[in-house]
Structure 1
Amino acid sequence: MDIVKDILLSTGFFALTWGQVLMWAIGGTLIYLAIKKGFEPLLLLPIGFGILMANLPLAPLMNEGSGLIWRFYHYGLEWEVIPPLIFLGLGAMTDFGPVIANPKTLLLGAAAQVGVYLTFFLAILLKFTVPQASVIGIIAGADGPTTIYLASKLAPEMMGVCAVAAYSYMALVPLIQPPVMKALTSEEERKIVMKSLRPVSKLEKIFFPLIAMLVICLVVPDSAPLIGMFMLGNLFRESGVVARLSNAAQNELMNIVTIFLGISVGATMSAETFLSFKVIYVFILGCAAFILATGTGVIFAKIMNLFLKEKINPLIGAAGVSAVPMAARVVHKVGSEANRRNYLLMHAMGPNVAGVIGTAVAAGMFISVLG
């Protein structure tokens, strides 16, 4: 009988807690949203499964020094390898043509980052530490890899919940942004038709990542890991001489690191660290951050129109968040609903890409001040 008892006690059934069961439900919900609703499936599916694995009682997956998932987390996230590799792939997928053709859109990408700093101060008011508040604030950029990178530097305990919040709100772009955009613009403003962008030469596209990398990294050196890899991936794309490297960065490498990223992030969300009132605050602040970033982008576009002879459609300011290309698509959809002749997709891609750069720069500034 003692042997049978020992065998039973060695199983996870008798070590299972209600908190772990609740985390299974949360992980299962993310998997459901990924499969059934199509919400950011490339990330939410492995994150959800990672949550299930992290909350298996007695399983040695996250044991420090020996656990399988711990190794993914330690070498991929703690050593800050995976987020820059994600940026390499994003750079290889990105076309800077709209930004080069209309440099004013860089200002709209920067304006949306005001939401980052407003949320930062809101988080401090809710008694989060300054490093934790910086990670929560960066959710406003709707940039998962940057959120994870900043959390690994300043507040590792916030990585899981902030990453899930960032990717969740990225998936909810089509639901969150349109009401904000419509509330801040008139029907006439949404009907503004913008002229087609000028053609951008190959030489311009080659020089842009080189010059942008040098200037940004000189101004904010701590942004170099993300910005450097982002611009390298773009140079692969635009040079035209390393198609194999560009394709590998966009496909095989991106897919591999996405798997490890999702599992590692999910595995940080154990019941002991996740089940607290602060988690609820993070999701509330994340929603507020995204609304603020959208709103500040639109408002700044309206302010620009006070000084521009050739007016821009203020809707494109909403694309200043880093959710590429979803935010740009939402801008185009809302604009075309107001005016069928409106084709805002490429115009919105300018601030959208600028938002990626702006969020990485904001993260670098937080690291330089708080790191």
Structure 2
Amino acid sequence: MLLDVLKDFWQSTGFAVITFKQIIMLSVSFILLYLAIKKEFEPLLLVPIAFGMLLANLPLAGLMDPPKMALVIDPVTGEMVQETKQLGGLLYYLYQGVKLGIYPPLIFLGVGAMTDFGPLIANPRSILLGAAAQFGIFVTFIGAIALGFTGPEAASIGIIGGADGPTALYLTSKLAPHLLGPIAVAAYSYMALVPIIQPPIMKALTTKEEREIVMEQLRPVSKKEKVIFPIMVTVLVSLLLPSAAALVGMLMMGNLIRESGVVERLSKTVQNELINIVTIFLGTTVGATANAETFLSPATIKIIVLGLIAFSIGTATGVLFGKIMCKVSGGKVNPLIGSAGVSAVPMAARVSQKVGQEANPRNFLLMHAMGPNVAGVIGSAVAAGLLLMFFGG
């Protein structure tokens, strides 16, 4: 009798049914947690993503299970109707915010409230660097098509090159939700690895003399300019590309809340409580989509490799366009700020500053690099809107 009880107990545990693939995914989640906690690689993102991955791959927990429905006869009308027999898991319901495209725009609202567009306004030419850094998105899109992915899948993979996690999630949730797990992990992993991936590319494409260039101080930007900017960008982008309105509109609304100076309470809430809560929900549920059955496949390996190529090309094209601007300006533009055109705010700008100071201790490129960096945020959102316009039908 005791043996039967122990046997039944054992069979009711996850230990009895755990698979080799689930063990691999649990190991991946442990590695990501190590990188986030020990190495501090984007911990605000990687901790919830990695823990969500851990939760989704615990057998029998059912945290991502959908509700179970059954057909029953309505006692009043006599018609067959669907009835919920068993509710879904906790993360399944929280995931609806990703699936319905709610969380990413809310993240953009918080990003806008924390972003100073002053460097971009002071130097409008830097928007060209932000645009150039999006080139990797479209090159990788072509590569993904060549590897057999469909148009919507290739668009979702290519957007990784923008180095903007919320944008990648938003586009993927609309075009290829079945790829959300690997694309999310790739996008956020490469964002975390910006300080490792970018410097070798930057140094390989520039000379020491170019890296030593000291740029002139940016002009002061008035409050009036900062208030008009988000309104103008929202109107122009939304009229030109309506499919980008959700991301760009929320980004600029957050920035207007910040710069208006009349809603301090809202500004603090959006910058802190709101974005923190949404980040927890977004990260955990996105990580939970990376279950063993869908994640461990040849397609995932292709996505991770293509994502790295997209990010590398975006960095390279930004630097190369920076070299062009350097020549045109007569040596007044340091090409290193072009690498910040990818939308990893503010880490990419910090990398430009670090590499520049290694070449010349008198170099202070951070504010100059913030122009292309915030332009990259807008650029990746516009690129996502463009891809959504073509493949969202």
TM-score (norm 2): 0.92
Which residue of 2 is the match for residue 53 of structure 1?
Answer: 55
For the pair 1:243 / 2:245, whether they are aligned, the reply is no
Selected match of 2:32 from 25, 30, 52: 30
Which residue of 2 is the match for residue 232 of structure 1?
Answer: 253
Gaps of 5+ in 1: none
| 2:308 maps to amino acid | C
Deviation of 1:308 after TM superposition, in Å, equals 2.7
The CA distance in 2 between the partners of 1:81 and 1:214, in whole Å, is 21
The CA distance in 2 between the partners of 1:146 and 1:246, in whole Å, is 22
| 1:17 maps to amino acid | T
Contact 2:243 2:386 in 1 (8 A): yes
1:37-186 to structure 2, matched below 5 A, reads 37-65=39-67, 66-74=88-96, 76-186=97-207
In the TM superposition, what whole-angstrom CA distance separates every residue of 1:160-186 from its partner, at most 9, and x where no partner exists? Answer: 111111111111111111111111111
| 2:54 maps to amino acid | L
In the TM superposition, what whole-angstrom CA distance separates every residue of 1:263-290 from its partner, at most 9, and x where no partner exists? Answer: 1011101100001122111111111111
Deviation of 1:4 after TM superposition, in Å, equals 5.0
Which residue of 2 is the match for residue 216 of structure 1?
Answer: 237
Give the % identical residues.
63
The CA distance in 2 between the partners of 1:169 and 1:60, in whole Å, is 29
The CA distance in 1 between the partners of 2:37 and 2:332, in whole Å, is 42
The CA distance in 2 between the partners of 1:56 and 1:336, in whole Å, is 46
Which residue of 1 is the match for residue 301 of structure 2?
Answer: 280
Deviation of 1:251 after TM superposition, in Å, equals 0.4
| 1:114 maps to amino acid | F
Selected match of 2:363 from 342, 346, 355: 342
Which residue of 1 is the match for residue 291 of structure 2?
Answer: 270
Cα root mean square deviation, aligned: 1.2
| 1:53 maps to amino acid | L
The CA distance in 1 between the partners of 2:298 and 2:25, in whole Å, is 15
Selected match of 1:206 from 223, 227, 242: 227
| 1:43 maps to amino acid | L
Which residue of 2 is the match for residue 188 of structure 1?
Answer: 209
In the TM superposition, what whole-angstrom CA distance separates every residue of 1:139-180 from its partner, at most 9, and x where no partner exists? Answer: 111101101111100011111111111111111111111111
Which residue of 2 is the match for residue 364 of structure 1?
Answer: 385
Which residue of 1 is the match for residue 372 of structure 2?
Answer: 351
Which residue of 2 is the match for residue 329 of structure 1?
Answer: 350
Which residue of 1 is the match for residue 280 of structure 2?
Answer: 259
Contact 2:213 2:331 in 1 (8 A): no
- Structure whose CA Rg is larger: 2
| 1:58 maps to amino acid | L
TM-score (norm 1): 0.97
Deviation of 1:336 after TM superposition, in Å, equals 1.3
The CA distance in 2 between the partners of 1:7 and 1:137, in whole Å, is 47
1:241 is paired with a residue of what secondary structure? coil
In the TM superposition, what whole-angstrom CA distance separates every residue of 1:54-81 from its partner, at most 9, and x where no partner exists? Answer: 112122211113210000102x111111
Deviation of 1:14 after TM superposition, in Å, equals 2.0
The CA distance in 2 between the partners of 1:5 and 1:310, in whole Å, is 76
Deviation of 1:310 after TM superposition, in Å, equals 6.2
Deviation of 1:3 after TM superposition, in Å, equals 5.5
Structure with the higher helix share, 1 or 2: 1
Alignment coverage as a number of residue pairs: 370
The CA distance in 1 between the partners of 2:300 and 2:391, in whole Å, is 22
The CA distance in 2 between the partners of 1:272 and 1:173, in whole Å, is 29
The CA distance in 2 between the partners of 1:178 and 1:29, in whole Å, is 23
